[in-house]
Chain A
Amino acid sequence: MGAGHAHRLYRHGHSPVHALPPHTKLAAAFAFVVVVVSTPREAMWAFAVYAVLLAYVARHARVPAPFLLKRLLIEVPFVAFAVLMPFVAEGERVHVLGLSLSLNGLWGAWNVLAKGTLGVAVSVLLAATTELRELLLGLQRLKLPPLLVQIASFMIRYGDVITDEMRRMRIARESRGFEARGVRHWGVLAKSAGALFIRSYERGERVHLAMVSRGYAGSMPVIDEVTASRAQWSYALALPCTALVVCLLGWAL
């Protein structure tokens, strides 16, 4: 899971959505998902409205539909899970095409599918319109503990370096005629993983040395201060606010 390269998720662009400060986007995405999750599942129309809202944002951000839909595939394992629900859930049952399905299960499957898909779509839009670096700045601005942000930023900086080392180790293995084909070869793979850990850790020590040499004393200097104007905030929060209205209507109707 989580394969693929981080920077491929981002679509370079100059849309109004790209231009928003990252923390407003993060806050908006999170608030939107919270609202979606709090919506009663019977209000089917509400989810349709959410989908339309997201489609509108995607259009504004000039994220093409095929890109968005392809990224949605990450959800597939859960679709499989959701499909099972009507068969195993309790409660009143209905008979469709000779299958006995639980009504609760059907609702549950719909619930997970609808909310899960919307959640994934929001994350995909966020990642597509926000650079990695900006995301980290946004998280920092949203008062995530700085140490956590630093760890995340080191992880992203060295993720490629380490994956690359892993790839080189694989090539070295394969060029000596080794190819992992089954459980018998786990020992060799695990040795590579062990070596990879040692390399990663030692690199961590060297990085620390380089940091200390440039005056690091436990906290990262703030280089880029991201700020958002009131207009930008209201622009970003328009999405979750609209969604909230829909959600409340969903409860009321």
Chain B
Amino acid sequence: MHVPDGFIDAPTSAVTGVVAAGALAVSLRGARRELDERTAPLAGLVAAFIFAVQMLNFPVAAGTSGHLLGGALAAILVGPYTGVLCVSVVLLMQGVLFADGGLTALGVNITDMAIVTTVVSYAVFRVLLAVLPRGRRSVTVASFVAALVSVPAAAVAFTLIYAAGGTTDVAIGKVATAMIGVHVLIGIGEAVITALTVGAVVAVRPDLVHGARGLQQRLKLRVDGALVDAPAPTAPVAARTSRRTLWVTGLVASLVLAGFVSFYASANPDGLEKVAHDKGIDKNARKHAASDSPLADYGVKDVSDARLSGGLAGVIGVGVTVVAGSAVFWAVRRRRTADASPASTLNTGV
């Protein structure tokens, strides 16, 4: 499902890029809360695990085989924030190193495969755990359902993104049917494997299953091959308010940018509409919500050639979004280095 370049138009790619950047910023914060200063090595190792496990082939029949996508597995095993980070890093590396998924489609891919799968599966998992009776079997059942739902959910997300910015005019109904149909099948495989894997981990080291921590009386850590209780977890130093500010800032920035860019998106006649226009088949005259937006006639006036100015606007729009996205990251980064505290290492896992 790695989307290549050119599949989704530039403005939508940019919007999803901003969404992905925002979600990553929140996840970086959240992962610190889940894993404190152990975040880098643990998340790195889990990412390596996800990467490896994607190569583990599960034979289906007659020479065909499937493999795990890992979003749900990551969310259940290490928690949603770390899960998002791990899958995103895997996607980033696949994009940059293996050309698997386009560079400009990175936002789409991360939103779709890292964020949607992880968040949906974790939400489903927690809800089910709350409803089901406490026990290992419930964890397995909940993992099954969570993984089952997560894959078609990603397909739905993809369909929505496609509806917003697909470069080809395929009826959304068709896309949805095809995507969701196929992914329900994939989801079944994913669900079986995820449930079995989580079951295997719960049987041996239930303490390592983030989603099942409620089952433990206390956290356990392995020391010297023996299991011992960890000291009571202390609250992380990061202040609550700063987290809320971060959330709000991220959200507002994403919304503003999303609005901004999508105004552009609809103000800027994309290739498809251009064809439609040239061919005179644009009869039902799509009404642009943004045709009277201040941006629509800003800048376009100065350049007489509408297409050129449209192109310019498109490129500038993408550029602005990229810059803004980096600015969000930059701000977060600054903030983190500012409050990076020499957290006590006495209560970390040994």
A and B touch in the complex (CB under 8 A): yes
Interface residues of A (CB under 8 A from B): 1-4, 6, 9, 26, 29-30, 33-38, 40-42, 71, 74-75, 78, 85, 88-92, 102-105, 107-109, 111-112, 114-116, 118-124, 126-127, 132, 135, 139, 143-148, 150-159, 161-163, 166, 180-183, 185-187, 189-198, 200-205, 207-209, 211-212, 216-220, 244, 247-248, 250-252
- Chain A residues near B96: list those with CB within 8 A: 26, 123, 126-127, 135, 139
Decide if B299 is an interface residue (CB 8 Å cutoff): no
* Structural contact, B58 and A186, CB atoms closer than 8 A: yes
Count: A-B pairs, CB below 8 Å: 357
* Structural contact, A89 and B168, CB atoms closer than 8 A: yes
* Structural contact, B168 and A105, CB atoms closer than 8 A: yes
- Chain A residues near B95: list those with CB within 8 A: 123
* Structural contact, B56 and A104, CB atoms closer than 8 A: no
Q: List 14 A-B contacts (CB under 8 A).
A: A6-B97, A33-B5, A37-B104, A88-B170, A119-B103, A121-B99, A123-B102, A197-B208, A200-B45, A200-B49, A201-B46, A218-B340, A218-B341, A218-B342
- Chain B residues near A247: list those with CB within 8 A: 311, 315
Instruction: Give complex CA distance A247, B307 in Å.
Output: 12
How close is B205's CB to chain A, nearest CB, in angstroms?
5
- B-side interface mostly: helix
* Structural contact, B98 and A34, CB atoms closer than 8 A: no
How close is B127's CB to chain A, nearest CB, in angstroms?
24
Decide if B93 is an interface residue (CB 8 Å cutoff): yes
* Structural contact, A182 and B59, CB atoms closer than 8 A: yes
How close is B327's CB to chain A, nearest CB, in angstroms?
9
Knowing A75-B4, A90-B169, A195-B200 are in contact, say whether A207-B281 is a contact too (CB < 8 A).
no
- Chain A residues near B281: list those with CB within 8 A: 91-92
- A-side interface mostly: helix
Knowing A107-B272, A111-B271, A143-B326 are in contact, say whether A33-B102 is a contact too (CB < 8 A).
yes
Decide if B310 is an interface residue (CB 8 Å cutoff): yes
Knowing A104-B168, A119-B104, A120-B4 are in contact, say whether A151-B47 is a contact too (CB < 8 A).
yes
Knowing A30-B103, A155-B89, A218-B37 are in contact, say whether A204-B46 is a contact too (CB < 8 A).
yes
How close is A60's CB to chain B, nearest CB, in angstroms?
19
How close is A106's CB to chain B, nearest CB, in angstroms?
9
Among all A-B residue pairs, the 7 with the closest Cβ atoms: A154-B44, A115-B6, A108-B168, A194-B200, A119-B5, A251-B311, A190-B196
* Structural contact, A119 and B99, CB atoms closer than 8 A: yes
Instruction: Give complex CA distance A186, B199 in Å.
Output: 12
- Chain B residues near A124: list those with CB within 8 A: 99
Q: Which of B58, B60, B103, B329 has the most CB of A within 10 A?
A: B103
Decide if B160 is an interface residue (CB 8 Å cutoff): no
Instruction: Give complex CA distance A189, B100 in Å.
Output: 25
11 additional contacts (CB under 8 A) given A38-B315, A104-B275, A217-B342: A2-B90, A34-B315, A40-B307, A123-B99, A147-B39, A161-B48, A162-B52, A194-B200, A197-B53, A205-B38, A251-B307
* Structural contact, A3 and B55, CB atoms closer than 8 A: yes
Knowing A183-B61, A196-B49, A201-B46 are in contact, say whether A127-B104 is a contact too (CB < 8 A).
no
- Chain A residues near B174: list those with CB within 8 A: 88
Instruction: Give complex CA distance A104, B282 in Å.
Output: 13
- Chain B residues near A37: list those with CB within 8 A: 5-6, 9-10, 13, 102, 104
Q: Which of A37, A144, A186 has the most CB of B within 10 A?
A: A37
Decide if B15 is an interface residue (CB 8 Å cutoff): no
- Chain B residues near A122: list those with CB within 8 A: 103
Q: Which of B58, B198, B274, B350 has the most CB of A within 10 A?
A: B58
Knowing A150-B40, A155-B44 are in contact, say whether A197-B197 is a contact too (CB < 8 A).
yes
Interface string of B80-97 (1 = CB under 8 A from A): 000001101110111111
